[in-house]
Amino acid sequence: MHKFEKLWLIIGTGSLVLFLGILGISAVHAGHTPAASGIETIHPDHVREDSRFSEPGLYESDSDAYDYDLYMVASAFMYEPNDIEIPEGSRVNIQVATTDVIHGFQVAGTNINMMVEPGLISTYEADFNNTGEYLILCNEYCGVGHAEMTSKITVVP
């Protein structure tokens, strides 16, 4: 083997090892990095053990900032609960957690649209000022049942 070929082989292998090393280090590091401030973490396996998500639904809020907290669980391929009634004029803190993969949380006909990522509680503040039925749909491809992953909000007078 030519001297330079050997040198380049060593440099090539060396940088590959270094690169994989960096990937490994950042992967390990990411696993222990707390989420950005204000975003609460939750392990997907423990979502249903959390009192907020063991019985998902609409609850009067303890906070002065909201009338209600809406807790929802996303899983392949449904949203729980699948039927929610919200009184007209309510300010709601929507909080969604997934038990498995990434889902999308969109409320048709509104601005409400967010990703629901494993490990995080996704939140969205929303005012429900117009009565009617609103379809909740998953807009992030999550598997064979993706298209059937829906729920419904009814804003009542």
Q: Residue for token digits 């509104």?
A: 110
- Residue 140 as a binder of ligand CUA (CB under 6 A): the answer is yes
Q: Per CB under 6 A, which region of 7-15, 55-63, 127-135, 142-150 contacts ligand CUA? A: 142-150
Q: Per CB under 6 A, which region of 19-27, 57-65, 127-135, 138-146 contacts ligand CUA? A: 138-146
Q: Which one of 6, 21, 141, 156 is in contact with ligand CUA (CB under 6 A)?
A: 141
Nearer to ligand CUA by C-beta: 153 or 155? Answer: 153
- Residue 59 as a binder of ligand CUA (CB under 6 A): the answer is no
- Residue 146 as a binder of ligand CUA (CB under 6 A): the answer is yes
Nearer to ligand CUA by C-beta: 61 or 150? Answer: 150
